[in-house]
Amino acid sequence: MFLKGNIAYTPSPEKFEVIESGYLEIVDGLVKGVYKEKPAGVNDADVTDVGDQLIIPGFVDLHLHAPQYANVGLGMDMELMPWLNTYTFPEEAKYKDVSYADKVYSQVVKSLWKNGTTRSVIFGSIHRESTNRLIDMMIEAGLSAYVGKVNIDRNAPDFYMETLEESLSETEQFLKDNVGKSDLVKPIVTPRFVPTCTEELMRGSAELAKKYDVPVQSHLSENLDEMAFVKELHPEFESYGYVYDEFGLFGQQETLMAHSIHLTENEIQLMKERGVWAVHCAHSNANLGSGIMPIRQLLDNGNKVGLGSDVSGGHMMFMPANITLSIQLSRLVWQETNHEQDALSTSEAFYLATKGGGKFFGKVGSFEEGYEADVLVINDDNLGVDGLSLQERVQRFIYVGDDRNVVSRYVRGELLEEPSFDKLVSS
């Protein structure tokens, strides 16, 4: 099949590749090529012509918390640790009730669909059954994701805590439930973060990740109080990242570390050596007053970097809003460092939210040959685009567009209808 329209994507961070009224060829869910002219012999019946609309890659969100969705936009006047205890843990605890999970997770999945987030990496709650429901809903919707059952066995409220044994056994069952279930939606081992995971839990999680060959996600060096607490818990380690490393959670399997703000030089090097991802969550980091990730330093150093919405520490599921704030914060850093740290360009930040973060999934987020065909069709009629170049139209969509502009989504070549969970959701 072919999609015909105004194609824009970023094979490299330096610039947008744009083709006006071009053809995107998709074969067996993969991009076959992008052409300026209709290839010889192509039948019109094989071409979906989207007219003057934009065709861009689907967005990749490397960090969000599905069971915090009901708190989005609330409690934005706290720091991490009190925010967790006041807003977050009580809300996440509700997911013991599967019918509550059905109710909210169906909204989360619809919101991902609506906002054009075709790939995401998601924290569930500590509850296996509810997290399984989320996986089933993502499969039903046709969206692609890694989804984790969270592990917590210390320093959390009684109502939101596991024993070491149940945390590990439920995680193993969660992996058995979901490994091999879907090509698009897969489980990920998810120890919440050092403060809430005993050494045994960290080590056991790492063993499960290795045994089932699944990736790992957690949080790293988001907040200074959090880091002081980690230091208190593990004074014998050089710094936070080394705790994860000791217990096998720092790149032994493919690993995402959300936030990664207050890093030491040694940690940055270790993350590079181990291939550990730093996930930049600009909205969350600003909302909670956590700080600004040294994104330029990480990129210059060759570290793996992607973007995350971190809903609900961040309030914007729509990835372009995360692109925009990432650029804005980088421009303020550029100013504050007397232009020593270059700001992110628009194409670079777009790259991070498509092909850059997409690498976590494989060949995802670009329209180069062999990439999985995750595609958004963007109608920007309402954005006043008369006379703009195609590149300017993409820039305007990123800055002032919203979910209204996302009119079609494809994952691996499949057009996704609006999710409806009549069959799955009991309520």
Residues lying near its own copies in the complex (CB under 8 A) are found at 70, 72-74, 76-77, 107, 224, 283, 285-292, 315-316, 324-325, 327-329, 331-332, 334-336, 343, 345-346, 383-384, 388, 392, 395-400, 402, 404
In Å, what is the CA distance from 88 to each residue of 69, 154, 220, 324? Answer: 10, 16, 18, 26
Based on CB atoms, which residue is closest to its own copies, 151 or 287?
287
Q: 72-83 burial, b if ≥16 CB within 10 A, otherwise e?
A: beebbebebbeb
| Distance separating alpha carbons of residues 280 and 104, to the nearest angstrom | 25
Place of tokens 């640790």: 81
What are the two backbone dihedrals, phi and then psi, of residue 27, each rounded to the nearest 5 degrees? Answer: -130, 125
Q: Least distance (Å) from its own copies to the CB of residue 417?
A: 20
Q: Least distance (Å) from its own copies to the CB of residue 291?
A: 5
Q: Least distance (Å) from its own copies to the CB of residue 416?
A: 20
Based on CB atoms, which residue is closest to its own copies, 215 or 294?
294
Q: Least distance (Å) from its own copies to the CB of residue 237?
A: 24
Based on CB atoms, which residue is closest to its own copies, 273 or 392?
392
User: Strand, coil or helix: what is 61?
Assistant: strand
What are the two backbone dihedrals, phi and then psi, of residue 310, each rounded to the nearest 5 degrees? Answer: 45, 40
Q: Least distance (Å) from its own copies to the CB of residue 261?
A: 10
Q: Least distance (Å) from its own copies to the CB of residue 162?
A: 27
Name the amino acid, one letter, at 318.
Answer: F
Based on CB atoms, which residue is closest to its own copies, 68 or 255?
68
The two three-digit tokens of residue 395, written as one number: 């820039």
Based on CB atoms, which residue is closest to its own copies, 250 or 397?
397
Based on CB atoms, which residue is closest to its own copies, 85 or 328?
328
What are the two backbone dihedrals, phi and then psi, of residue 15, each rounded to the nearest 5 degrees? Answer: -160, 160
Q: 220-254 burial, b if ≥16 CB within 10 A, otherwise e?
A: bbbbeebbebbeebbeebebbbbbbbbbbbbbbbb
Based on CB atoms, which residue is closest to its own copies, 42 or 78?
78
What are the two backbone dihedrals, phi and then psi, of residue 215, each rounded to the nearest 5 degrees? Answer: -80, 175
Q: Least distance (Å) from its own copies to the CB of residue 334?
A: 5
Based on CB atoms, which residue is closest to its own copies, 27 or 228?
228
Q: Least distance (Å) from its own copies to the CB of residue 161?
A: 24
Q: Least distance (Å) from its own copies to the CB of residue 105?
A: 13
For residue 264, give the DSSP letter: -
| Distance separating alpha carbons of residues 259 and 277, to the nearest angstrom | 10
Angle between helices 390-400 and 319-336 (to 10 degrees): 90
Based on CB atoms, which residue is closest to its own copies, 71 or 239?
71
Q: How do strand 30-35 and strand 15-27 relate by DSSP bridges?
A: antiparallel
| Distance separating alpha carbons of residues 159 and 21, to the nearest angstrom | 56
> Cα-Cα-Cα-Cα dihedral of 57, 213, 280, 9, to 10°?
-20
